[in-house]
Structure 1
Amino acid sequence: MKHCIRLSILALLLTLAHVAGAQDISVDGEYRINPVYSRGFREPMYKGDKAGFYTMQRTRLILNYHKENDLDAEFIMQDRRFWGDQDDRSDVANMSVFRAWVEKYFNPNLSLRLGRQGFVYGNQYLLGEPNWVGTRAHDAALLKYQKNGLELHLAAAYNANGQSFKREPYEYNYYQNMQFLWGHKKIGKLEASLIFLNRGMERGDTTSTVYYMQTFGTDSELKLSDKISLVGVYYYQIGRDIQDRHVNAYFYSLQVQYEVNKVLSFNVGVDAGSGNDQTDEENSNNRKSHYFDRHYGLIHGHFGYIDYFYVNNPTTPGVHDYYVKTKVNATKKLSIEDHIHSFATSAVLNDPEHDGKSMHHNLGFENDLLVNYKLSSSFKASLGHSIIFGTRTLDQLFGGRKIQESQMLYAVITATPNFFKYSKTEKQ
């Protein structure tokens, strides 16, 4: 049966290739095997807890079509499951559509992309590609313009539960509607972008009330030399959150990226998001919020690989992340990365053991070590270890219980075979 499906797909692609002009068509796969030994990954370890071990397998079938100055299309079907996620009495599928979009070019400078797509911008603090960490997709229309080094993108999305002839409250844990305008320009050694994003969230109750939050800011990089670059990110957030609180929040990132040579490079910086102060009466009365919502930024790419912040639950006090990231390209195939993080709360936490006093801002230190080995262009493997040394403040952030040693050991084996490729040049 699977062989017949594959032959059908190839027959369809060959038919498209025959009727079209100059074009490229490819069918690719992605297999990712990810065993994890967890002693506190995403969920802190407490006294009496036992370490967990599991293997996740993620599989994709990727179809791409490109006809220059005419049409682009992408379709990605994926399966995301754990080894042992099966039952001999039933066959529970975990298939989903990760991407399904088509892009029409009206001329070389203007195009319109429609369908399920990813929004990836700048350093991905606000809009990023989570890739295999989740299955995030945006069902949207994206108008794209580029000319003379200037890029402009205008996006609009409106979500519904399904086919409905009357307005119903949106019930999913996602935005009800979203729009953004993004612009990017490169001037000499400076690359700068500006974004304005409006997001509407709905509680899913009978009121059908949509709460709108606006985020605007910049993501820039200045290349001082061939070896040193400065990165600056700043976002400001206003409007109302889904609890109907007035939002006044910020986020910034400052980085110095230094490439010593082809072997050694460093990234030294700080990422910081504002948060709610427990000693602030307006915050405690739920009238205002200073918590910065990172919306759809990278889940696993920032704030450490242990994923204690901005992942499973909102980190309402906000976090300052001071880091030094080192990368060593030992050979053409082997690279080693080490990330050292120092975390601190942005806002104040009350100390439950001392009335009227606040806790120290220091949350602890984390070290992420990652070894990458590329066996070929289509096969690579990584081995990683992460450990965090927390404080009483970290304990309090997660409810107050004493957190035990927290670390994880994991491997990622990735294969990306090409099943089919066709390229045809239009006759002159």
Structure 2
Amino acid sequence: MSGIHLTEEERAEADDAASEGRTNGQTAAAETNGQTAAAETNGQRTDEEREMMHAEPFDVQADLTEGLNEAQTLLADLVSTPSVSGDESEAAAVLKAFFEAHDREVWIDEVGNVRAPADDSVLLTSHIDTVPGEVPVKIEDGVLWGRGSVDATGPLASMAVAAVETGVSFAGVVEEETSSTGAWHLLEDRAEPDALINGEPSGWDGITLGYRGFLSGTYVATSELGHSSRPENNAIQSAVDWWSRVADFFESEEEGVFDTVTTKPVNFEGGPTEDGLAVEATVDVQFRVPPRLTIEDVQEVAEGELAEGSVHWEKPIPPVMTSPRTEVARAFRVAIRQEDGDPRLLRKTGTSDMNIFAGQWDCPMATYGPGDSDLDHAPNEHLDLAEYDAAIDVLTGVCETLTE
């Protein structure tokens, strides 16, 4: 991409998004961007996930950190520490100790975020938590294997190192994989920085500028209990018909995946009420909302298709699409080229904490981090240490540019 004008980069970005799958992380796994079953039920974990949260410590290779440099050791230590959403305290302590060792002001706030404020020309932030699942922690041929190595402990550790090297602000946030408690709290508890870089895997030479938004809700309908021979719809039929109309409306669109609304029913319950006098149906639904639409646009369509019943909406996460012309995006292109890379501008079909920050802060921002997001939540999650080192160099260069 070296030497290409911005307008051509934007055109390339649009082509990448339309192809959906040739850009980094555009697989079905990455499209959910961390929205696992726990997240798709608004943070309600299954019994199996609860058991995994309290499992024995990971299977960690003996002498894992032997021969590693300080930055790589931090990454290995964090990946070796279980940090499932809601249970991040041990990993937070590892991160806090790293900043203390470098004489940085640091504390763990009331929701569990690791806060290391400094030069607010840039705020580097990524999430501490991972999804459940054990991937034995080992290093083979310069590659670190383990849960979170890609999503998002690799980006998190690279940002911690870059923050120490350049003196910029840092925040490691909790529960991104479920409720984004850490990001919401950060918005409420600190001032807006001059620029923000969110940590998620983009590949060391990739810059993520856009994400779709996230909207979830629950449809509820009730009808009188009657004989099945009666011609009128009961609540269960009303629920099925409503969702079919909503899904059909959005499926008629001809745009690429990034620019379409993805509709998913994630839970359905229906049957007689306890008193036997009525039939009740509930459907939990989710939408991924592209930046070309607003959350309100999707809500209007869904509510407009109601014939019976009602729908209650949860707190939405708006879509985001930032310009490739911001000082943050420009600094990344320069830094990646300085490391002999060819910058790639990405748009992701999932959702991240950047959506939340962009919904309330007007500062320039982008998402960046080492790792192949095709491996998010995968049983073979792993990160090349050379890529991790390159990402630190890129982040350091970006921060130095933005603090000049």
TM-score by length of 1: 0.21
Rg larger in 1 or in 2? Answer: 1
Structure with more of its chain in helix, by fraction: 2
TM-score by length of 2: 0.22
